[in-house]
């Protein structure tokens, strides 16, 4: 059955990094269902990116797959140019690309430490610098970064990921302040433990019943729903915030 876009994002163009699977995939599909034209990004898995595009176009939406490493500025600029050429601009940026790893701190080498940080922090830098001028020109923009619960509560063996995600929150707040008067909102969505496809290097989830008061893992669709809301015109008064979606595992302080 074809999903008819609701139209709230009709005419908008979104780039969702790391959108060949998991949270990125669901987010891209959610934005497309609201009428946005979406760039599906992956580093090298073209088949997976093309499959997401096919899901969107088969449902009546618009999507284009584009492979690039977000740590490569030329690659990022090329992806943004492709979005402009195909759809006319860039209005929404979702910084979802990341790399998960799990290794005790004293066994972690510097390359393993930096590679995780570079994807999240350098990637967000390149993407925002390349996309924001188009948002300023359009007089409207939405940027959403993807954080994580671990840096709020700590986690052994993941210091590189914790540094990366905590840095994203500072990055988000800085951009939110700087571009608020340009009608550009910048927010961070912080997932709890989510039921995703995980590479072996990411380690295993802890037992489900210990995760959160709701007694289960979250779904990728539940995270995508929060990202989708922050991209809506009605979310214009929300900026510089970290929105926690974790089933009550972290209640803030």
DSSP the chain: -PPPP-STTTT-EEEETT-SSHHHHHHHHHHHHTT-EEEEEESS-HHHHHHHHHHHHHTT-EEEEEE--TT-HHHHHHHHHHHHHHHS---EEEE---------GGG--HHHHHHHHIIIIIHHHHHHHHHHHHHHHHT-EEEEEE--THHHH--TT-HHHHHHHHHHHHHHHHHHHHHGGGTEEEEEEEE-SB-----GGG-PPPPGGGT-TT-S-B-HHHHHHHHHHHTSGGGTT--S-EEEESTTS----
Q: Are 59 and 4 in contact (CB under 8 A)?
A: no
Output the pLDDT for position 101.
78
Tens digits of residue pLDDT in 147-190: 999 888 888 999 999 999 999 999 999 999 999 999 999 999 99
Q: Is residue 101 part of a domain?
A: yes
Residue 4: how many other CB atoms lie within 10 Å: 11
Tens digits of residue pLDDT in 57-81: 999 999 999 999 999 999 999 999 9
Q: Is residue 205 part of a domain?
A: no
What are the strands of the beta sheet with 13-16, ordered from one edge? 62-67, 37-42, 13-16, 92-95, 141-146, 184-191, 242-245
Q: Is residue 3 part of a domain?
A: no
Q: Is residue 204 part of a domain?
A: no
- The residue written with tokens 């449902």 in the block is 59
Residue count (the chain) = 253
- What is the number of domains present in the chain? 1
Q: Is residue 249 part of a domain?
A: no
Q: Is residue 65 part of a domain?
A: yes
- The residue written with tokens 């986690």 in the block is 155
Output the pLDDT for position 250.
87
Q: Is residue 142 part of a domain?
A: yes
Residue stretches of the chain with pLDDT short of 50: 1-4, 201-202, 207-209
Prediction pTM value: 0.93
Handedness of CA 198, 232, 52, 129 (dihedral sign): negative
Q: Are 39 and 14 in contact (CB under 8 A)?
A: yes
Backbone torsions φ then ψ of 193, nearest 5 degrees: -80, 120
Q: Is residue 154 part of a domain?
A: yes
Output the pLDDT for position 229.
98
Expressed as residue numbers, the domain containing 21 is 13-191+222-243
Residue 209: how many other CB atoms lie within 10 Å: 8
CATH number for the domain that contains residue 128: 3.40.50.720
């Amino acid at each position: 059955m074809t999903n008819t876009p609701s139209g709230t994002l009709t005419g908008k163009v979104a780039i969702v990094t790391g959108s060949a699977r998991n949270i990125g995939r669901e987010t891209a599909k959610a934005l497309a269902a609201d009428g946005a034209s979406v760039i599906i990004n992956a580093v090298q898995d073209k088949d997976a990116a093309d499959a997401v595009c096919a899901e969107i176009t088969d449902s009546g939406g618009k999507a284009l797959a584009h492979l690039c490493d977000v740590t490569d500025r030329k690659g990022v600029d090329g992806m943004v140019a492709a979005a402009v050429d195909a759809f006319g601009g860039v209005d929404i940026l979702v910084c979802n690309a990341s790399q998960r790893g799990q290794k005790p701190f004293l066994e972690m080498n510097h390359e393993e430490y930096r590679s995780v940080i570079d994807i999240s922090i350098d990637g967000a830098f390149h993407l925002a610098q390349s996309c924001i001028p188009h948002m300023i020109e359009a007089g409207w923009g939405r940027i959403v970064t993807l954080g994580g619960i671990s840096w709020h509560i700590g986690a052994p063996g993941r210091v590189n990921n914790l540094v990366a995600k905590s840095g994203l929150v500072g990055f988000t707040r800085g951009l939110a302040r700087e571009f608020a008067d340009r009608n550009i909102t910048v927010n961070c969505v912080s997932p709890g433990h989510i039921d995703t496809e995980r590479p072996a290097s990411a380690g295993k989830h802890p037992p489900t019943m210990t995760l959160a008061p709701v007694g289960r893992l979250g779904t990728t669709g539940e995270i995508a729903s929060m990202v989708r809301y922050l991209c809506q015109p009605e979310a214009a008064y929300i900026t510089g915030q970290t929105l926690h979606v974790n089933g009550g595992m972290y209640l803030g302080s």
